[in-house]
Amino acid sequence: EVQLLESGGGLIQPGGSLRLSCAASGFTFGSFAMSWVRQAPGQGLEWVSAISGSGGHTFYAASVKGRFSISRDNSQNTLYLQMNSLRAGDTATYYCAKGTCTSTACLNFDQWGQGTLVTVSS
Amino acid sequence: DIQMTQSPSSLSASVGDRVTITCQARQDVSNHLNWYQQKPGRAPKLLIYDVSNLQTGVPSRFSGSGSGTDFTFTISSLQPEDIATYYCQQYDDLVSFGPGTKVHLK
C-alpha cells in the first residue's frame, strides 16, 4: 500500500524558515516524480513545486521561486521542501503528491499524503 | 503558467441527478487534463486522468471529455458520497488547478 506521510509543519514567524518532509513507502520511490501542493485555509489547490525521480530536474511556482527548494533522498525514500523567507501568504496545508512516472512530464497525482499545516504569523 | 477556469463555482443537485462541470484552459493543454475530488478535511483524490481515463477503483458514474482548451466532467447519477469539491488540473506546462466546483445536495 502506498503511503505518503508529511511532517515538519507548525507555527513560524514571518521571515523564518521551515523544512517539510514527506516519507514515502509502498512503491519504488526513485521511479516517480513528486510534487508539493498547498491549500490555504478555505481556499483551492495551488501547485508549489515538482522534482523528477532522479532529482535532476526541479520546477517551482512563480509565487515561491527563489524562496523554496525541493529535494529528495531516494536512499531514504523521503521528499523535502525547504521554505525560506516565509510570508503570511504561505500559510496553508502542504501536501506531497506522487506523479505517475519518473519524469516531470507526467504530473498526474495519483497518491497524496494527509498534509501538514504551516502557519506563518507573528 | 496556464490559467484554468471552472464553472459553476458551486451547484446544488439531488441524488440521481446528472451533474456537469466545465473547465477551460487559457491555452491548449492537449490531453494533459485531470479531475480530482476533495472532501472536507481530506486530501484530493484523482478521479479522471488524461481527460477521460478513469482512475482504478473509481465508479463508472464519473466521466470526462474534451480536448485542447475545453473540458467537461460528469457525474451521471449523483450519490450522497459524491458531495465534495471538484478540481480540474493541467500538467501540459508545469501544473495549475482550476478554482474548484463545490457540489451540494439539494
At B1 the pLDDT is 87
Q: How many CA atoms lie within 13 A of A48 on its CB side?
A: 29
Residue A84 CA to its chain's centroid (Å): 14
Contacts of residue A6 in chain B, CB cutoff 8 Å?
none
- Nearest chain A residue to B53 by CA distance is A108
Looking at the partner chain, which of A44, A59, A61 has a beta carbon nearest the beta carbon of B87? A44
**Could you tell me the pLDDT band of residue A105, with boundaries at 50, 70 and 90?**
confident
- pLDDT of B76: 98
Contact with chain B for residue A88, Cβ under 8 A:
no
Average pLDDT over residues B37-54: 98
**Residue A72, helix vs strand vs coil:** strand
What cell was used for A35?
A: 510534487
Judge whether residue B79 has pLDDT over 90.
yes
Q: A73 with A80: CB under 8 angstroms?
A: yes
Residue B97 contacts residue A46 (beta carbons within 8 Å): yes
User: Which residues of chain B neighbour A45 with C-beta distances below 8 Å?
Assistant: 36, 38, 44, 87, 89, 97, 100
CB contact under 8 A, A47 and B96: yes
Which chain A residue has its CA at the smallest distance from B92's CA? A105
Average the pLDDT over each of A97-106, A110-119, B7-16, B31-40 and give the range with the smallest value: A97-106
With beta carbons less than 8 A apart as the criterion, state whether A68 and A48 touch. yes
Is it true that the peptide bond before B44 is cis, omega within 30 degrees of 0? no
**Residue B43 confidence (pLDDT):** 98
Average pLDDT in the A3-27 region? Answer: 98
Q: Is A3 on the interface with B (CB under 8 A)?
A: no
Chain B residue with minimal CA distance to A106? Answer: B91
Q: Which residues pair with B20 in a beta bridge?
A: B74
Residues of B within 8 A of A100 (CB-CB) are 49
Q: Given pLDDT bands bounded at 50, 70 and 90, which one contains residue A104?
A: confident
The pLDDT value recorded for residue B21 is: 98
d(Cα B62, Cα B47) in Å, to the nearest integer? 8
CA distances from A23 to A14, A29, B75 (A): 26, 10, 34
* Strand duo B4-7 + A45-51: pairing: unpaired
Reported as a single tens digit per residue, the pLDDT across B27-41 is 999 999 999 999 999
Which pLDDT tens digit goes with each residue over A34-52? Answer: 999 999 999 999 999 999 9
Q: Is A59 on the interface with B (CB under 8 A)?
A: yes
**Distances from the Cα of A101 to the Cαs of A30, A109, B87, in angstroms?**
10, 10, 22
**Angle, CA A105 vertex, CA A99 and CA A109 arms, to 5°:** 25
CB contact under 8 A, A45 and B34: no
Report residue A76 as a C-alpha cell.
531514504
